[in-house]
Structure formats: C-alpha cells, structure tokens
Chains A and B, each alone.
Chain A
Amino acid sequence: MVLQSSLKSCLQLSCILKTPKAGFRSTMSGGLIIQSISNDIYQNLAVEDWIHDHMNLENGQVLFLWRNSPAVVIGRHQNPWQECNLRLMRQKNIKLARRRSGGGTVYHDLGNINLTFFTARKKYERMENLKLVVKALKALSPQLDVHVTDRYDILLDGQYKISGTAAKLGRMTAYHHCTLLCNADKFVLSSVLRSPYKGIKSNATPSVPASVKNLFEEDPSLTCEMLLDAIAEEYATQHQIDHHITLVNPADETVLPGISNKTEELQAWEWVYGKTPKFSVSTCLNMVYKDSVIDVKVDLDVKHGRIEVCNIDLPEQWLPPALCSELVDSFTGSKFCPNEITTLATTLLRVCPQDDEMHSRWNLLCENMTRLM
C-alpha cells in the first residue's frame, strides 16, 4: 500500500525543498516520489506550480501523485463555456479549474489518478513517461491491452481512452502530467463534459472527445492505490532510487513557502474564467411569456471573461427603450457570469419605475440571459 510504504518523511522533504540546490546535490541522486494528502484540485495544481518554479531539477527528477474530488480541469488556452456544462457543475458543486499546461478538458474524481513527471527542461520526454506507465500497468495486470498512441494518449483495447496528457515547459524545468481512469464515474463525466451552450465562436483550443473506459471494468481487482503503487515502483526502478513515497501537505506553508498564494491565484475568477481567449456568442433566446414565445436575438463579445459588446434585439416596446438601453449598458463590462448578471439586474431594478408587469419582463429577460452562461 502506498500509504504504508511512505515513512514519516515530511521533514526530509522540507529539507530538500527549502534548500533545493544543496538538497538535491547532497541528498538527491536521481529522483523523488511525492504524493499529495489533499484532494483539492487547486491545492494540487498549486503544488505543481511550486515545484515548477522553485525546484532545481538539473540533477534529479520528481514524480508527483495526486487525486482530486470531483472537478473539471480545462487546459490553459481553453474556453470553459465551450468545453463543459457549467450550469450542471454549479448544481452538482463540481469545481472548475484551469491548469497551466496546454491540452484539452478532463474530468477528475477520486476514481482517477494524476501523475506529474517533473524534469529539467532538456530532459523533457513524454513518450518515455507514458511507456513507464504502460509497463507498470502490464506488470500489475499482464492481460491488459494497453498501448500509447502518437497523440500521447493511452488506449485500452485499442479504442478506449484511459489517459490524457498535457505538458508545461518553463525556462529551466518542464513537467508532463497525465490522468489515468481507474474507477471514475463515467456517467457524470460524459454529462459534465458536454456543453449546452450554443452559438459560441472561439479560437480557443478545442478538446477532442473520446470514448472512455475504466481500468476497473477490465480488471475488477484494480484500485487506485494499487495503480499508484505500481507506477511508483516502476519509476523507482527506472531511476534507481528507493521505492519510497513522501507525503506532501499542500496547505503547509513551512514546507512549501508561498504555496497559499499560488492556490489563491488558481482559484481566482480572473484566472479560471478571465483567461479565456476572446470569443463571441450569437444566439436566440426563446422566452416564454404568458401565452406566447418571444424570440430575442442576442449577440455578445466576451473578452477576459467580461462582456465587451452586448446587443439584445427585443420586440418593439416590450420593454421601455430607455430601460432596455440601461440594461444593455450595465451588461457591458460585466462578468459573463450568471450570478453577476442576476445581482446586477435585480439591483438596477430598484431604481426603475415600480411597475409589476415591467418587473416580471425584466426578470424574465435576465433569467434567459443567464442561461447562456
């Protein structure tokens, strides 16, 4: 078991991490395997950031093992509205995170494991890492039909994707991370990774959808712990180091100074939504009002997650024109976020003439607008 095999080595880790240069040269010779005790996506992404920024990997490599409670993770240059069902995620309390590496969107839960291979920039080599994973899987369960494709995916039975890859290259260090589906909730995965939003035009990196399967379905004896252990073992063998896993607490500022700032940055709206490349939404709202359906054409330009340009084509006199332009004016510059729009619109309503009919139309329009977000 992974947890049993790791000794009380947080102290050792802090020695290594505080003085990486001295640490690596004197105590390290080859590699280090660490595992996060947290299941929080933001904290774990922050650990990756921290290692990438602060560790000297010229003479050593690091393998980081982590798992998260339900979350959708989009790539650095992706558009969350295009990639996933944000509405459903809010209802189910599934978090959204944007990682710093490229690539497509993935769903994480505790039935999925994540592996990050940290190396010096010059030693960046994804194929080697994935072959290591396949070797570990085959050692664990020899009859598994798993192989690496040239797109850096791992396929099961030649057709089902069980692992996706992404990477980040910096000045001196690089990392390659991948997922591995052991026993994830496929139903939630497929419903959450299907975007309901229409009319989006964007240059953001699109994801390539693929059929997925859990390793557990092929070999019911497999668990996440076993997979983590097997991969750590293979890594230890290949790098000629102890099969010894150091536990890391991503909330511990003494071991990882500056980590809470990184966690905060990754959770901030400006990063998760604000980093979305410019896109436009061009669609039609079909509002049901009393006994009729009202078609409203909407055109929005969204930049840095905020509405830059807003055009709403309402039927004549459905709302007083002055109010209509007031509403459009207030939307401009606002975050492309349902909560922001709702609170904005209801607050503005206080300074509008008190007419129940008008209020219900205003509310209806706002509710329909928020359905786009």
Chain B
Amino acid sequence: MAALAAMRSSCRGAGRLVCIHRVRSCSSIRFIKSKYVCVFDKSALKFSHQQRLFRTSAVLCGQIVQFKLSDIGEGITEVTVKEWYVKEGDSVSQFDSICEVQSDKASVTITSRYDGIIRKLHYNVDETAYVGKPLVDIETDASKGVAPEEDVVETPPMSHEEHTHQEIKGHKTLATPAVRRLAMENNIKLSEVVGTGKDNRILKEDILNYLAKQTGAILPPSPKAEIIPPLPKSETVPAAPKDKAHKIPVSRPIVFSGKDKTEPITGFQKAMVKTMSAALKIPHFGYCDEIDLTQLVQLREELKPLAQLRGVKLSFMPFFIKAASLGLLQYPILNASLDESCRNVTYKASHNIGVAMDTEQGLIVPNVKNVQVCSVFEIASELNRLQSLGSAGQLGTNDLTGGTFTLSNIGTIGGTYAKPVILPPEVAIGALGKIQLLPRFNGKGEVFKAQIMNEASDCLKKKERKKEDLICYSVIRCIKSCHYRSILQNCKPKLSIACCEDARHKLKHQIIEQLFCFSKCKSPLGCSYQDLTALNCR
C-alpha cells in the first residue's frame, strides 16, 4: 500500500526499522504521527512532508462502499437522475443530499448513508438509474478504534434503515461516525454532551453548541441544517451541560468552515463597470450648495391631494426636474454632449432628464422625455410610470436611452450629501439630498425654521481654458440662478413667483402655468388660468 511504501522510504533514510512494526500494529493515524515527531529529530523537515503524505495516503485505506439506490416505494424500479449535488472527490457526511432523481411526477432527494468521499458517480444527468443498483461509490473513513474514544460497532446498513444505531459496549452514546470524529478532534467526551436527536442521539449541532459554550465563541450555523430540526434547545435539553460548564475553560480550536467565494462579474454589472470607468475618466468639476425649500414643501402639500385626484403620486422630484429644465433653457451647454475626440459639442434640443433609480439589479437611469414642454403634473405622471416599470423590471430600451441630463436623489435613502458621477455621454449631473428641518438665521439675525436640502452638481470640465471658465461659471450661475434656485426657494402657496432681474413677463406666466399644471382649461379649484395669474404675481 502507498502508506507503507512511504514509511519504508523514510525509514531507510533514517536507518530504523522499528517504525514499520508500529505501522502494522496501530491503525490510528494520530498515534503514528506523534511518535514520529519525537523519534526522528534530525530529518524533521523530511518527515513533516512524510506526515502529510501519511495523512492523505492513510485516507485511501478506507473501504469503498457501493451505495445502492434504495426502494422508492409504489413498486417503482427505475428513475431518472436529474441533478447531482456532489461530484467525484467531494466529501460527504451521513444524511447529506447526494442527488435528485425523478420518477413519474415524484422528485426524490437521495441522501448519503455514509460519511466519506465520493469516488464514483454511476450515472450522468438524464440517465436512468435502477433501484437496487449502485448509484455512487463512497470511500468511507477507516473506523477509529483508539482509546480514549469508545469502540464503534457499525451494524450493517439495511436498505430501509436510515438511522444506524450504534450500540457501544457498555456505554450507550448514540452518534454517527462524523460526530464522533468531530468530538474526538476537539477533545470532547461524548458522555458530557447532551444529544437532541432522536433517542437522545448526539448531533453535529450539539457538539458545536457545546464548543460554543466552552469558548464563548459564536459559531456559524451548520450548512446542512435543513436536515436537522432547529428546535429551541431549552425545551428538549435537560440542564446537564450547564453543570459541567463551570470547569476552567480550556482554549479549544474554533471550528469555522466558511470559505471565500469568487464569482465572475457578468451581465449588467459588467456593463456598469465599463460605464463607471469611462465616467471617472471625465475631468470633473463639482459644486455643492444648500437650498431653502420651505416654500416648496408647503406648495407640495397643497398640490398633493389635487394630483391624487387625478391618480398621480406627487413627490418632490417633478419640481426639481422641471426646475432643472428651466435652468437648462438658460444654459444649454449643460444639456450637451461631447464627442469622443472632444472636438465637437452637440447641444441637444430635448431635455430628457434622467432620474437615477435604485433597483435590485443596481443603478438604473430611465429618463423623462422632453421636459421642456411638460408641466409638473405631466412629469409626475410619467415619473410614476417609470417607477412602477422600474420596480417590476420592465423598463424598455426607449425609457433607458436618450438621456441628456441626470438627477440623482440620495435623499430617499436618507443621505444629505453626495458627490455624483457624470453618466456619459452627458456633461452634467445633479444630486439631491434629504430635506431636513434646520435652524437658520434670517437677515435680522433671528433664528427661523427652514427646510434645507443639500444639492451637489457635477459637470464636465473641458480642456480649453475659455470653455472651462464658461462651464464652471455656468454651473454656478445655474445653481444660484433664479430659474433654478429661486423657483424652488421662493414659490409661495398663494401662487406668486419671485423672479430675479432678467425674468420676462411671458416667462413668468409660463412658469406659473407649468408649475401648477393648469393649462387653458379650468382648474379643479374652479378658477381659470387667468385668475391665477392675476393673483399675487410680483
């Protein structure tokens, strides 16, 4: 056998033959290993290698058991193998799932009767397997007969008996070989562990719980937990282990079988990686500011029920989208696109304002088309449509392409600041934070309550000096300009708009009309558009 061959070569090297006898007489791996370390000091390195050889070769000494497909019931003689849960070389414990077979509308999970290593799968997927014929070959571990553990006498597995009762001479501790090994490796006496399995059988969970009590460590749940019922231990376990717990805790090896998991990045995530990498190559210029939205908050409260009547949910976003569009009218460079060679700028006619949405897949940016000709109400209803499609995962290509400017709302998840990244091929993006009620000082030095939102913008910094200045300046003006900020800040519920120096009367009316979505027809309030403009328009 390979093991003995290894032994012989090492013995020759050291010139002692005593070890061979030891190999023959002992069947325990650990026993040999410990003996080796103390006897052969000089060639310690060589032997550590041999020890490793020993360990792996010793495993090959186990017997190969042919696990046959047991009776399914109802007189069924053949089944189709549908899925393998293991492959050759995997190690399995008793009761682990091995494969799924199907027979005439019944799906059967075949579980292992033994602990060991899978050596051969007798069938491929979609092949027919026969009851009573071998399904897999499992190499079981050599039985452990070394003190201090009690001897295990395994009853021959009967085809219907899933529970192998192991009656030990004198001491009736019921546990599977896997559980015994775990206990032995951790120097636990099985008699000290209380079993929660059937007939007080000791399960893997019981050993782990016992260990946890000793070390105070929190162990992750066993990966095969579905086979064993997760009973609340207090109800079925008597108080015995608690008495033993006040022994001086010895440091025990913590059993953790977690593994790192590597997965390829595919599909949508891969595309996002490309886009984000391209985005971060764009030279950025960012600007942050806070905006007092007290008036807007009030306005929205008033308009919400009106929108509800028409079946539309009105959030703050439609207002921001419209305000952004009004700003873009004044500064069309922010609604432009730069070609790859940075030689041409295309000023886009439509304001297709994208709204970043967080979905299960990741960041998706559908856009509202032609905001420049839409009212706040129309924007709100379109936004509703995009949001419901987005959450159902049914957005179409048209909704997701053609965007010219983007707004990202981090306030919905509670953030206040943001440093957004421009989504190519656009040149600017605005990020909106959460609206918070904060104290502020007014002109007279008095403190007042204000609804404050932090807003950050990012835009493309172009290479040529002149243009660069223009864009930066544009951004600042855009943000600070009345067409953006003051619209949001100063809109009063009584329908008046404060516009700054260069607002024209026509534009003022347009703004009112668009903001309050009453066109030439009568409003639900009963008054006409003309009446509205007559009210309080400075």
Given contacts A330-B270, A351-B274, whether A76 and B74 have CB atoms under 8 Å apart is no
Given contacts A126-B74, A343-B364, A351-B278, whether A258 and B230 have CB atoms under 8 Å apart is yes
Which residues of chain A from 73 to 92 have any CB-CB distance to chain B below 8 Å in the complex? 75-77, 90
B393 to chain A, nearest CB (A): 4
B272 & A347 in contact (Cβ 8 Å cutoff):
yes
A56 CA to B197 CA, complexed, in Å: 12
B73 to chain A, nearest CB (A): 5
A76 & B109 in contact (Cβ 8 Å cutoff):
no
A126 CA to B73 CA, complexed, in Å: 10
B268 & A343 in contact (Cβ 8 Å cutoff):
yes
Q: Which of A20, A103, A165 contacts B229 (CB 8 A)?
A: A20
- B332 interfacial by beta-carbon distance below 8 Å: no
B73 & A22 in contact (Cβ 8 Å cutoff):
no
B168 to chain A, nearest CB (A): 23
Q: Which of A104, A334, A338, A345 contacts B105 (CB 8 A)?
A: A104
Binds A, one of B394-402, B445-453, B500-508: B394-402
Query: A335: which B residues are within 8 A, CB to CB?
Result: 267
Query: A257: which B residues are within 8 A, CB to CB?
Result: 230, 232
Query: B362: which A residues are within 8 A, CB to CB?
Result: 343
Given contacts A21-B198, A90-B392, A103-B105, whether A342 and B82 have CB atoms under 8 Å apart is no
Mark interface residues in A51-91 (1 if CB within 8 Å of B CB, else 0): 00110100000000000000000011100000000000010
Which residues of chain B from 53 to 110 have any CB-CB distance to chain A below 8 Å in the complex? 72-74, 82-83, 95, 100, 102-109
Mark interface residues in A253-276 (1 if CB within 8 Å of B CB, else 0): 000011000000000000000000
Residue in A closest to B125 when the chains form the complex, CB atoms: A277
Binds B, one of A136-144, A168-176, A209-217, A243-251: A168-176
- A240 interfacial by beta-carbon distance below 8 Å: no
Query: B423: which A residues are within 8 A, CB to CB?
Result: 350
Binds B, one of A117-125, A221-229, A280-288: A117-125
- A4 interfacial by beta-carbon distance below 8 Å: no
A100 CA to B97 CA, complexed, in Å: 14
Query: A22: which B residues are within 8 A, CB to CB?
Result: 235-236
A348 & B73 in contact (Cβ 8 Å cutoff):
no
A132 CA to B104 CA, complexed, in Å: 21
A77 & B266 in contact (Cβ 8 Å cutoff):
no
Interface size bracket, B side: 35 or more
B63 to chain A, nearest CB (A): 23
A296 CA to B393 CA, complexed, in Å: 26
Given contacts A333-B270, A348-B275, A350-B424, whether A170 and B109 have CB atoms under 8 Å apart is yes
- B239 interfacial by beta-carbon distance below 8 Å: no
B102 & A166 in contact (Cβ 8 Å cutoff):
no
- B1 interfacial by beta-carbon distance below 8 Å: no
A333 CA to B265 CA, complexed, in Å: 8
A53 CA to B227 CA, complexed, in Å: 6
A102 & B226 in contact (Cβ 8 Å cutoff):
no
- A9 interfacial by beta-carbon distance below 8 Å: no
Q: Which of B82, B339, B397, B424 contacts A345 (CB 8 A)?
A: B397
How many of A's residues come within 8 Å of B, CB to CB? 64
B162 & A171 in contact (Cβ 8 Å cutoff):
yes
A172 CA to B425 CA, complexed, in Å: 60
Residue in B closest to A205 when the chains form the complex, CB atoms: B102
Which residues of chain A from 305 to 337 have any CB-CB distance to chain B below 8 Å in the complex? 306, 330, 332-335, 337
Besides A342-B395, A354-B339, 15 other A-B contacts (C-beta < 8 A): A75-B107, A76-B102, A76-B107, A122-B160, A168-B107, A277-B83, A277-B126, A340-B267, A343-B271, A347-B271, A350-B423, A350-B425, A351-B275, A351-B424, A354-B346
List 15 A-B pairs, Cβ < 8 Å. Answer: A18-B231, A18-B235, A75-B105, A76-B107, A121-B73, A165-B105, A167-B107, A168-B107, A168-B108, A170-B109, A339-B395, A340-B361, A346-B397, A346-B400, A348-B271
The 4 closest A-B pairs by CB, nearest first: A333-B266, A334-B267, A103-B105, A102-B107
- Residues in chain B within 8 A of chain A (CB atoms): 72-74, 82-83, 95, 100, 102-109, 111, 125-126, 160, 162, 198, 226-227, 229-232, 235-236, 264, 266-268, 270-272, 274-275, 278, 337, 339-340, 346, 361-362, 364, 392-398, 400-401, 423-425
